[in-house]
Amino acid sequence: MTPTTTLPDLRPALAQSQAWVAELIAGVRPDQWDAPTPCTDWTVRDLVGHLFAVQSRIEANPAGSVNHLPSTLPVPDADAAAAFRTAAERGAAAWSDEALASTVVRPYGEVPGAVAVADFTREHLVHGWDLATATGQDPEALGDLAATILPSARQFLPAEMRGAGIPFDPVVEPAADAGPTEQLANWLGRRSR
């Protein structure tokens, strides 16, 4: 699913989405860690553990396949938000200009590094929405960024391919007043209302 046009450099967007997720993690109250999330069968702790694993994938992907890495990691007991910020910084350092232009291995095949960065940005936005929704925080804080990502999600994660190699539930029709991040979550199969 490599795009036929040159992708923009989304490293700043990825950093913005990572910073938002770190803020959301900082906003989790102690009584919310075992609360359910829009991600089926995941608690807030499970979701944050997955987001830590995503950081390890971001850091490792320029050097090769990340398919062997775990999909979740333990959430640090002390200052999880600070630990997340540190992991995000390591990931950002791994994506040089050369890495962005190189070919990397994603779970669905080989793609330009810029596509991987777009994937990771989208993942942060959707899981950020999941986390914000589960913990009563603002799920549309990066609505403008989600609006720029939504068209590529519709193009490269088409509704008709669900169940045929695309690991998302069927598209959910968004509410008339849904913001861009909620619409992105709906496109990836999240029921939001």
4 domain-assigned:
no
Question: Tokens 């002390």 label which residue?
Answer: 78
Confidence at 165, pLDDT banded by 50, 70, 90: low
pLDDT (0 to 100) of residue 159: 81
Measured CA to CA, the distance from residue 68 to residue 102 in angstroms comes to: 20
Query: How many Å apart are CA 175 and CA 113, to the nearest integer?
Result: 34
From CA 114, how far away is CA 11, in angstroms rounded? 8
- For 113-163, what is each residue's pLDDT tens digit? 999 999 999 999 999 999 999 999 999 999 999 999 999 899 888 887 776
Residue type, 159: A
Of residues 187 and 165, the one with the higher pLDDT is 187
pTM of the model: 0.92
Chain segment 43-93, per-residue pLDDT in tens: 999 999 999 999 999 999 999 888 889 999 999 989 999 999 999 999 999
Domain, as residue range, for 38 = 11-144
Domain assignment present for 189: no
Instruction: Report pLDDT digits (tens) over 91-127.
Output: 999 999 999 999 998 877 889 999 999 999 999 999 9
pLDDT at 35: 98
Instruction: Indicate whether 190 belongs to any domain.
Output: no
The domain tally of the chain equals 1
Is 38 part of any domain? yes
pLDDT surpassing 60 at residue 1: no
Residue 2 has pLDDT above 80, yes or no: no
CATH number of the domain enclosing 81: 1.20.120.450
Q: How far apart are CA 88 and CA 67, in angstroms?
A: 19
16/34 Cα distance (integer angstroms) = 27
Domain membership of residue 181 (yes or no) is: no
The two three-digit tokens of residue 116, written as one number: 């991987």
Task: Classify residue 173 as exposed, middle or buried by CB count within 10 Å of its CB (0-12, 13-18, 19+).
Answer: exposed
Residue 170 is given by DSSP the state P
Within-domain flag for 164: no
